């Protein structure tokens, strides 16, 4: 994809086309996309100066991660976590979350980290507090699809005891 394209030539039309391939997500589509090793290119695009391009890049990563686990055994760790982590993807996505380029990118970054850390502790305390706090804050988002993904991300995180303790602070319960 964009690993071989001049960075300045990547525009919203390119990323819009790619995100449309990733959604609606299914395990099969996610697996086929994953086999093409998209993370390195998509992570690179998170540094683009166009917020729409960045939004489509993080949306694509989220869709690929979400699609493969949406119907799988929920007690397993995420099958793509290691590949994403080895590329520095967790840090890149967290950096995007902290840059706060747009509401969509910030929230989608938090969801992506939540799904990636399925049944795995977020050991960076600041990351855990900020990601969980943001997900709890947007659990009642105006968009139904966002509410569904936030709930799923929190459920993924809650499979780990240390994450669940952070989620349940203040008496918070993940809605059914």
Residue 3 lies in a domain: no
Looking at residue 78, the DSSP 8-state letter turns out to be P
Question: How far apart are alpha carbons 41 and 57 in whole angstroms?
Answer: 9
Q: What is the CATH number of the domain that holds 97?
A: 1.25.10.10
pLDDT of 131-144, one tens digit each?
A: 999 999 999 988 99
Tell me if 176 is assigned to some domain.
no
Q: Per residue in 2-55, pLDDT tens?
A: 445 566 788 888 888 888 889 887 888 888 999 999 999 999 999 998 999 999
Tell me the two tokens of residue 119: 């049944």
CA angle (89 as vertex; 83, 95 as ends), nearest 5: 165
Please write down the HEC assignment for all residues of 117-145: CCCCCCCCHHHHHHHHHHHHHCCCCCCHH
Output the pTM of the full model.
0.92
Q: Which domain holds residue 29?
A: 8-167
């Amino acid at each position: 994809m964009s690993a071989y394209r001049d960075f300045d030539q990547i525009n919203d039309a390119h990323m819009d086309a790619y995100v449309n391939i990733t959604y609606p997500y299914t395990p099969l589509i996610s697996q086929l996309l994953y086999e093409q090793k998209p993370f390195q290119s998509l992570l690179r695009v998170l540094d683009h100066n166009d917020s729409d391009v960045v939004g489509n890049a993080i949306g694509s990563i989220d869709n690929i991660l979400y699609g493969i686990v949406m119907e799988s055994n929920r007690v397993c760790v995420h099958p793509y976590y290691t590949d994403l982590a080895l590329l520095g993807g967790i840090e890149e996505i967290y950096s995007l979350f902290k840059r706060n380029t747009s509401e969509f990118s910030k929230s989608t970054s938090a969801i992506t980290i939540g799904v990636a850390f399925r049944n795995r502790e977020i050991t960076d305390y600041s990351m855990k507090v900020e990601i969980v706090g943001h997900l709890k804050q947007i659990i009642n988002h105006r968009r139904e699809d966002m509410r569904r993904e936030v709930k799923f991300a929190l459920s993924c995180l809650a499979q780990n005891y240390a994450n669940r303790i952070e989620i349940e602070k203040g008496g918070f319960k993940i809605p059914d």
